[in-house]
Amino acid sequence: MNTRKLVYLFFSTLLIGASSGAVIGVLLDTDTYFGGGFLNFFFGLLWMFGVSAAISLVAQMGYFAYLTLQRLALGLFKSVTLWNRIQVVLVLFVLFDLVYLRYISFAEPGETLAGFMVMPLLLLAYSAVVAFWKRRETNKETFVPALFFMFVVTTIEWVPALTVDVVNDTKWLWIYVTPLLAANTWQLLLLHRLTGDGRKNAS
């Protein structure tokens, strides 16, 4: 991994995360963006692009923190199998947190637990698809770490949106999570191509 590849990883991730968030932001609030003329649309889109770019920077910091954690954990536990089992437990724990703890903290009268299960389960399903893709392009040992990164790390990065007053505003949850998912997916599936590890890479 040389400097040129690191720069490409940084700016391509920034652009993909910012663009995806801007597009979703406009699509989820068309009346605001298209109801005030061209300048309203332009500056609104520019603002959303900037917000999404900032979120994608969080995703990049999260990814490099995850890579550090992965190496430290493999050195500590001396076993890929043991570390993978721990990661599976953490995935299940975070899934429980996302559903139940958000329900007891933010549910309003009349809301059910099922309503708080939709987005976490969609996130888990998406994470599993990306992890399978990573496994197919590298090797079978990468599935659990990829699932852990896409689900657990993305959730940690998503925490600011999950804990603010607009937590039940689905629009803002999607606006915040979209750049994270786009950036994290891109980083996860690009790194082994940049390093040339391919099926030799187990992280």
The full set of domain ranges for the chain reads 55-200
pLDDT score of 201 more than 50? no
DSSP annotation string for 41-56: HHHHHHHHHHHHHHHH
| Residue (of 128, 124, 120, 125) closest to 99 by Cα position | 120
The tokens for 183 are 């950036």
Q: Is 162:133 a contact under the CB 8 Å cutoff?
A: no
Query: What is the rounded CA–CA span in Å between residue 92 and residue 10?
Result: 30
- Mean per-residue pLDDT for 29-43? 84
pLDDT at 187: 96
Least confident of 45-59, 66-80, 100-114, 158-172: 158-172
| Higher per-residue pLDDT: 3 or 14 | 14
Binned at pLDDT 50, 70 and 90, residue 203 comes out as: very low
**pLDDT over 90, % of the chain:** 55
**pLDDT over 70, % of the chain:** 93
Q: What angle do CA 62, 66, 72 make, to 5 degrees?
A: 145
Binned at pLDDT 50, 70 and 90, residue 63 comes out as: very high
Binned at pLDDT 50, 70 and 90, residue 161 comes out as: confident
